[in-house]
Structure 1
Amino acid sequence: MKLLDLRAELENDLSWRLDELRHLRNLLLPTADQESWPVSSMRTLLVMQYAHLEGYVRNSANIYVAFINSIQAAASDVRAELVAAALLQEFEAVRKGGGVEAQEDGDENGVLLKRAKSQVAFVNKIRMILENPVEIDSGSAVSLDMNLSADVLRRQLFVLGIPSERVERAQFSALEFVRRTRHDIAHGNRKERISTGEFQAHTSQSERFMSDLARLITSAARDGWYRSGDGA
């Protein structure tokens, strides 16, 4: 995947999400008289905005993983975080005390033997990574825990070798604002009328967050933040 391809995928995904949200807004809030906007319509749009924001974070991370895999870089050439990301399945297997090979043995082997086999499988995986280009499984490396908070975003960026210091504090604040509003609605705490000012702020912060994330991922790929020893 070339940098232009990464940028195009990020922009195309962002574009259709914003177009869909604007289309829904025109359908649900067709009048310019903000005082007449139905509170149920505003709640629906706020929840949809959060869903698209979370979806965009997940898809952007997957796009970046695909970019990293396409580089075909050796483990020594990329950041340690990305090598660790390539080993996430093995980490989990060791934590549980049994890898794929151990699980295939059924009940014939005891817990101690399964644990020993999982450790050997882990070493074999390390050898494979050292001898071959780094390959990250996006299904393991991209995880938002069904609840995209600022802490979850920081962890996700760390796993991808993108320092959270590169993210402006305003982005985390915007994310928390959007997330709290969505949760309040889901838990029935926003039955009263939502102020149009708050609604407009939610909309602008959602759009800004996704745009800023696209720029962040693009910068990470363009400027080589993934490289070992990079000062990012």
Structure 2
Amino acid sequence: MSKPYTENDLSNILDTDLIWRRKELSDMKAAIKKADQFSKTALLRALVAMSYAHWEGYIRTCANSYFEHLTLRKKSFVELERQIYVNSFLGRLDALHRSRVNLQERCKLINDILDGGAGRFSYLNPTLVDTKSNLNTDVMKDICTICGVDSDHFEQNRTFLDVLLLKRRNVIAHGQQEYIQPDEIDDFVAKILALMSFFRNLLENKVYMKEYAA
């Protein structure tokens, strides 16, 4: 896969990734509409699981590609918005919270925070963009925070994300009988794709407007 060196590179990567996801969901919808009643029930369940998989996968791709683009810009932390610098310490803070480290290690972390602003942003901890295999509204808001974008739109769609998508997906994943109605599938898939595209647009606009800059 090519790297997002430029704004256009980033757009092309996100376009390519969205195209195959959209086609797979479209193909699944078509299969459901043509299926007999017995097959249709199984396909409706599969559509929910597939929709969630594309939701989680595309959000992760967008966020990781955005940060990769920033690392390829080879800018120092002082040239970037503060959240980028904050992100560089979140993994260590989490490890500090989960373990009993000595005073020297705590002091070292504080000194690194105070002294590290002149460094260059060249690496993103891969655990930072963490969907937790359960990309609900609260997790999405965390991802928006580390990306430095507003999460209000996802909060406004909490019921759809947490109930109509996540709750259904989790029930299906645990082997219980759950599916959506055939007359729901067009709106359901359209909503998923709209939310995926909305997040992509937030990051893409930020890059083109260079809103990541200090």
Tell me the distance in 1 between the aligned counterparts of 2:182 and 2:44: 9
Tell me the distance in 1 between the aligned counterparts of 2:196 and 2:132: 19
Go from structure 1 to structure 2 and tell me whether the alpha carbon gap of 1:120 and 1:200 turns closer, same or farther (over 3 Å shift).
Answer: same
Per mean C-alpha deviation after superposition, the further-off stretch among 133-142 and 211-220 is: 133-142
Q: RMSD between aligned alpha carbons?
A: 2.7
TM-score using structure 2 length: 0.83
The answer for unaligned runs of 5 or more in structure 1 is 99-113
In the other structure, the counterpart of 2:23 is 19
1:221 aligns with 2:207: yes
Residues 106-132 of structure 1: CA distance to partner in whole angstroms, max 9, x if unpaired? xxxxxxxx5133224424543663232
* Letter of the 2:79 counterpart: D
Per mean C-alpha deviation after superposition, the further-off stretch among 11-20 and 65-74 is: 65-74
Go from structure 1 to structure 2 and tell me whether the alpha carbon gap of 1:227 and 1:174 turns closer, same or farther (over 3 Å shift).
Answer: farther
Tell me the distance in 2 between the aligned counterparts of 1:88 and 1:168: 23
* Letter of the 1:153 counterpart: M
- Pairwise CA distance, 1:24: 3.8
Residues 140-165 of structure 1: CA distance to partner in whole angstroms, max 9, x if unpaired? 32011121001110111101211224
Q: Count the aligned residue pairs.
A: 209
Task: Work out which of the residue numbers 199, 213, 224 in structure 1 matches 2:185.
Answer: 199
- Pairwise CA distance, 1:227: 2.5
In the other structure, the counterpart of 2:49 is 47
SS in 1 for 2:12: helix
In the other structure, the counterpart of 2:109 is 122
In the other structure, the counterpart of 1:145 is 132
- Pairwise CA distance, 1:97: 4.8
- Pairwise CA distance, 1:169: 5.2
Task: Work out which of the residue numbers 29, 52, 67 in structure 1 matches 2:32.
Answer: 29
In the other structure, the counterpart of 1:65 is 67
- Kindly indicate whether the alpha-carbon contact (under 8 Å) linking 2:88 and 2:125 is maintained by their aligned counterparts in 1: no
SS in 1 for 2:126: helix
- Pairwise CA distance, 1:134: 2.1
In the other structure, the counterpart of 1:186 is 173
Question: Identity over the aligned pairs, expressed in percent?
Answer: 22
- Pairwise CA distance, 1:72: 2.4
In the other structure, the counterpart of 2:143 is 156
TM-score using structure 1 length: 0.77
- Pairwise CA distance, 1:93: 3.6
- Pairwise CA distance, 1:91: 1.4
- Kindly indicate whether the alpha-carbon contact (under 8 Å) linking 1:69 and 1:135 is maintained by their aligned counterparts in 2: yes
Paired residues for 1:92-103 under 5 Å: 92-97=94-99
